Amino acid sequence: MLNDIILKTLNINKSFKIERNIFNPGNIYIDVVKNVSLDLKRGQILGIAGESGSGKTTFAKIISGLLSFDSGEVVIDNKNILDYTRHELARKIQMIFQDPFSSLNPKLSVGTIIYEAMDNNINKTERAIEMLKSVGLPEDSLHKYPHQFSGGQRQRIAIARALTSEPEIIIADEPVSSLDISIQAQIMNIFLDLKDKLKLSYIIILHDLNLLAAISDNIAIMKNGEIVEYGTSEEIINNPKDIYTQKLISSIPVIP
């Protein structure tokens, strides 16, 4: 059914211009995302994997409304992304970044950081405490500052902030890459718990194909801005068709 698809992209293209200089007398355009078409079903997790520079983050910023695109179409809940106001889009989709410390203003308390993402017509303190507790942080975290937390705790704060606008879709770009393995598991469990509790849909970008396969319903493999393979997690891991996917899987460390 069409209504099962909460987010759909059709032939998304994005290029960046390299400005001319003494080494480059003419403008050069680099294609970063090329004809990317993907569907995210309601209540599911779509994983995206690929090497650094494959276009994953650029694509994520496009579908979250943070970056314009050259051509194609992004449809969220049967409505073109260009027809949403910024406020409306924030209620539909939120993005969580790889480095939470760089995305959290060090001069602001955690409470203020979370309040900024809220509507004015709600009890902000009560809502902020609710969000912090949902990610396993105590309410006294409101009065502290980002530098007083560990990397894993800062990522929990970033998740709490993203949840305050009650989005239906969360995009997480390498949300655990800078964390210890034990903390990675905790963060991914938070995502899974919130998925069921809040009926969220996710797009999660990870380098770790093993971890991605463990949590995702479907996986898309990106290379040089293109989707080179797409399928269920089981299909991608157990029966990869593309040579690039096979190389990614073969590079996964094997624990003896």
Write the CB contacts of 19 (distance below 8 Å, at least 6 apart in sequence). Answer: 27
Q: Is the pLDDT of residue 256 over 80?
A: no
pLDDT for the residue numbered 3:
57
Q: Is the pLDDT of residue 209 over 60?
A: yes
Separation in Å, CA 25 to CA 17, 35, 169, 240: 13, 29, 43, 43
pLDDT tens for 153-196 read 999 999 999 999 899 999 999 998 878 888 888 999 999 999 99
- Of 242, 218, 238, 217, nearest to 229 by C-alpha is 242
Average pLDDT over residues 29-41: 95
**Burial zone of 164 (CB within 10 Å; 0-12 exposed, 13-18 middle, 19+ buried):** buried
- Within 13 A of 170's CA, how many CA atoms are on the CB side? 29
User: What tokens were used for 78?
Assistant: 């049967």
What is the band of 59 on the pLDDT scale with cuts at 50, 70, 90?
Answer: very high
What's the CA dihedral at 77, 79, 83, 84 to 10 degrees? -10
pTM score: 0.89
Q: Is the pLDDT of residue 139 over 70?
A: yes
Q: Is the pLDDT of residue 98 over 90?
A: no
For residue 87, report the phi and psi dihedrals to the nearest 5 degrees: -65, -45
pLDDT for the residue numbered 26:
67
Q: Count the residues in the chain.
A: 256
Note the CATH architecture for domain 2-92+167-250. Answer: 3-Layer(aba) Sandwich (3.40)
